[in-house]
Amino acid sequence: MNEFVLIFRNDFLPEAKFSPDEMQAIMQHWQEWIGGIAAKGLLANGGNRLSSNGNTVKPNNIITDGPFVEIKEIISGYIVIKAADIDDAAEIAKGCPILMVGGNVEVRDIIPMNI
């Protein structure tokens, strides 16, 4: 088993786009999806959800307010999973609820840290 990071991206839009009921339903989907991965023993790290509060630091002391938005999508969170290979990991990513709201999931292999 290898570890892969799933990175979630969606449109950078004000978060209050959804009604509380819709939010509730989305959260439910997420919990079920991640719960399913964890139930198979494939969740290596629950990861984090990122708020839209952020800065971007670039060379030569250039600091811009807000998340990294060279394109219109921003990273909204990530988790680390275990899978046999990257395609297997992509299979798992296909179940991610972010796809239902037009977002996408990037699947990346991890370089082992030689600390």
Partner 1 sequence: MKEFALLFRNESNVGSEITPQQMELMSSKWQHWVGGIAAQGKLVSPGSRLGFNGRVVQPGDNVVQRPYAEINQILSGFHVIKTSTLDEATEIANDCPILSIGGSVEVREIIPMNN
Binding-site ranges for partner 1 (CB under 8 A): 3, 5, 7, 9, 31, 46, 48-51, 53-61, 63, 67-68, 70-71, 75, 77-78, 80, 86-87, 89-90, 93-94, 96, 99-100, 102-111, 113, 115
Beta carbons within 8 Å of 107's beta carbon, 6+ residues apart: 4, 5, 6, 7, 86, 89, 90, 93
Cβ at position 29, least distance to partner 1 in Å: 14
Cβ at position 19, least distance to partner 1 in Å: 19
Q: Spell out a b/e string for 26-50, using b for 16 or more CB atoms within 10 Å of the CB, else e.
A: eeeebeebbeebeeeebbbeebeee
Q: Give the closest residue to 101 by CA, choosing from 6, 24, 26, 46.
A: 26
Cβ at position 56, least distance to partner 1 in Å: 5
Identity of the residue, 16 or 113, whose beta carbon is nearer to partner 1 in the bound complex: 113
Identity of the residue, 25 or 99, whose beta carbon is nearer to partner 1 in the bound complex: 99
* Residue carrying structure tokens 């004000």: 14
